[in-house]
């Protein structure tokens, strides 16, 4: 272990306590000599006492401020009030509204920037990174207009989502009308992007603390490049330029553990598609020898050390 990881730490993961990723994180924490608990976002509860008294921030694993570091994983759906409350609790820890110093990977502001696909794309574009032509609207009428403006061949995707769920490629105006009508009835925000050929191929740069992994993903049967949608994954060595770019982006977002995704573009340089603050790594682990979960725990160690030094 490094000097930063020599001390035994209490770690908390917020998210599902079952499944492959949870098992990987448990095993990695055990290998590196730490105690890990996993708690659900739904169990988070807070109390505010007298002025000057410490906040009470709890979950079903116990007091959240008793932990040296917290890993934020997939947050389940909920009402706007519930989502806002969960983030407010994380902000209270991250903004040091308490006398305790607990590191959060990734912190709530970074989650807010990256989970919202419009916000993350806007942040990338504002920083000068090339992105696909995109329209984000709130009605069928505006969506149909955007569909035509974007060339009548679009990828429609939910503002919140992952692993390719809810993503559609639409090339027919009548299908677009019916699809947008349904989404409007569901009170959804409609995000449309010009389809970038060839589709189904992208580059993922996985940044985990001080480590960076490069992955090429390819899907011959679909325009979706997600491994969960059938894409294959191959590792490559990230050059200095791409690594520097990925680190600049994750630092701009305030992310410690994230992926930066670029889609192939037959008519020009690759385009920056999104920044994922809660990346899965099952497909990546199949082609990477080093334990990615160990890298995640290492990042928690480093952030905890940085915060308390």
Whether 165 has a pLDDT exceeding 90, the answer reads no
Query: Cα angle vertex 153, ends 150, 157, to 5°?
Result: 85
Nearest one of 9, 162, 5 to 73, comparing CA atoms: 162
Q: Is the peptide bond before 198 cis (omega within 30 degrees of 0)?
A: yes
* % of the chain surpassing 70 pLDDT: 94
Question: Which residue would you say has higher pLDDT here, 2 or 99?
Answer: 99
Whether 1 has a pLDDT exceeding 60, the answer reads no
Q: What is the mean pLDDT of the chain?
A: 92
Per-residue pLDDT at 51? 72
Q: Measure the CA–CA gap between 201 and 225, rounded to whole angstroms.
A: 6
Per-residue pLDDT at 49? 78
The token duo for 11 is 């770690």
Q: Measure the CA–CA gap between 227 and 33, rounded to whole angstroms.
A: 32
Per-residue pLDDT at 43? 98
Give the CA radius of gyration of the chain. 20
Q: Over the stretch 101-114, which tens digit does the pLDDT of each residue have?
A: 899 999 999 999 99
Mean pLDDT computed over 267-282: 95
Per-residue pLDDT at 22? 98
Mean pLDDT computed over 158-181: 87
Per-residue pLDDT at 3? 43
Q: How many CB atoms lie within 10 A of CB 172?
A: 12
Per-residue pLDDT at 70? 97
Per-residue pLDDT at 228? 80
Residue 57 backbone zone (phi > 0: left; psi -120 to 50: alpha; other: beta): beta
Q: Measure the CA–CA gap between 177 and 147, rounded to whole angstroms.
A: 10
């Amino acid at each position: 272990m490094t000097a930063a990881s020599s001390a035994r730490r209490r770690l908390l993961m917020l998210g599902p306590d079952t499944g492959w990723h949870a098992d990987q994180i448990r095993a990695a924490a055990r290998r590196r000599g730490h105690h890990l608990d996993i708690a659900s976002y739904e169990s988070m509860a807070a109390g505010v006492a007298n002025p000057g008294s410490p906040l009470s921030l709890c979950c079903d694993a116990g007091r959240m401020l008793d932990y040296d570091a917290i890993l934020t994983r997939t947050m389940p759906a909920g009402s706007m009030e519930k989502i806002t409350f969960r983030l407010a609790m994380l902000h209270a820890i991250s903004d040091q509204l308490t006398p305790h110093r607990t590191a959060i990977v990734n912190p709530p502001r970074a989650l807010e920037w990256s989970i919202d696909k419009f916000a993350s794309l806007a942040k990338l574009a504002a920083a000068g990174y090339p992105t696909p032509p995109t329209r984000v609207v709130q009605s069928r009428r505006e969506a149909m207009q955007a569909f035509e403006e974007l060339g009548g061949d679009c990828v429609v995707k939910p503002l919140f989502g992952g692993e390719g769920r809810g993503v559609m490629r639409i090339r027919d105006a009548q299908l677009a009308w019916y699809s947008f009508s349904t989404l409007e009835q569901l009170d959804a925000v409609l995000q449309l992007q010009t389809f970038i050929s060839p589709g189904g191929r992208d580059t993922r740069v996985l940044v985990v603390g001080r480590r960076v992994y490069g992955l090429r993903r390819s899907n011959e049967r679909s325009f979706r490049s997600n491994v969960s949608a059938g894409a294959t994954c191959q590792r490559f060595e990230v050059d200095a330029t791409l690594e520097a770019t990925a680190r600049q982006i994750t630092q701009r977002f305030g992310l410690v553990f994230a992926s930066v995704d670029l889609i192939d573009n037959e008519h020009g340089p690759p385009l920056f598609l999104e920044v994922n603050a809660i990346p899965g790594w099952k497909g990546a682990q199949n082609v990477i020898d080093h334990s990615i979960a160990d890298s995640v725990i290492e990042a928690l160690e480093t952030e905890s050390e940085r915060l308390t030094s």
